[in-house]
Structure 1
């Protein structure tokens, strides 16, 4: 018995709280443009995909297969808490990626509105709208697993969180690959 299960419980609760907050923001982001003509534009398509991905991360079942410990109840609790932490940690990681993609797409909406100034797109706007699309593409490309993992880790450390047993990026990626349809 290592006496760390209270830290593990607190860490699981913290990560689940973070994930819950991310889900709130994801669920409340717009996904339908005010003008139906804009439905298939790059930014609105990204916002819709984020809404779908956000719902999927909620809907995918938790992995409840926990190895049986050869120790006492405390050791079994440790194994279970580590499994729950991996699940919560990976969901938070994916939620953060979705949230960042939404933020980039919402910035695209704002930039596009600045270009159009209430007008419908014309050939006169084409160059600036293409620049908006290029900017979105660039921003989305910057949202990598490695970057998200490091940002979350640094934030946790700065907040004084107990991170001693946080799952590795590789473990998070394995968790994601085991759940089809998460981008």
Structure 2
């Protein structure tokens, strides 16, 4: 028997995909290469390039379209399909947000590094400051966990008054992500 929630499920999928599209736009727009190619292999620039690759990967991952046949008619089948699409969209948004947060941390690193360098090149007199900058980047990147991202997105959705009754659990999202690794 149909539960009458397929309109909510459809709207939720649309919200998630819209969020993901916005994240992809920001991820793709970020500069990944330094003006001075001597900086190419520094931590922040390497992180920015990895974010671009990860963003492209999550965009290119095929959706899992294997939905079991639901008994109960077309509305129940639509419900099963929408739940599967919801998981896919939720997982993509989750990964996109993680990439975006890592990218933002790396972009802050670029700004801090530029402030330290003041238009010059690295030298022994500023090496301790550059090491602190690198360490701060490592700390920020390590703080971007699945748990933090999931909680922040969940809180944001609730604050916006979005329908979240059937959002997948963190574990389901993590399983989805694991199946998308190549």
Q: Please tell me the TM-score bracket, short chain as reference.
A: over 0.9
Aligned to 2:166: 165
Distance in 1 between residues matched to 2:63 and 2:72, nearest whole Å: 24
Deviation at 1:135, TM superposition (A): 0.3
Partner of 1:133: 134
Backbone CA RMSD of aligned residues: 0.5
CA distance in 2, matches of 1:7, 1:48: 37
**Where does residue 50 of structure 2 map in the other structure?**
49
Q: Per-residue CA shift, 1:125-166, capped at 9, x if unaligned?
A: 100000000000000011000000000000000000000000
Aligned to 1:116: 117
TM-score (norm 2): 0.99
Q: Any unmatched runs of 5+ in structure 1?
A: none
Q: Aligned ranges for residues 1-183 of structure 1 at < 5 Å? A: 1-181=2-182
State the SS of the aligned residue for 1:123. Answer: coil
TM-score by length of 1: 0.98
1:11-56 Cα offsets, whole Å, 9 max, x none, are 0000000000000000001100010000000000000000000000
1:179 Cα deviation after fit: 1.2
Paired residues in the alignment total: 181
Distance 1:43 1:66 in 2: 41
Structure 1 outlier segments of 4+, above 6 Å: none
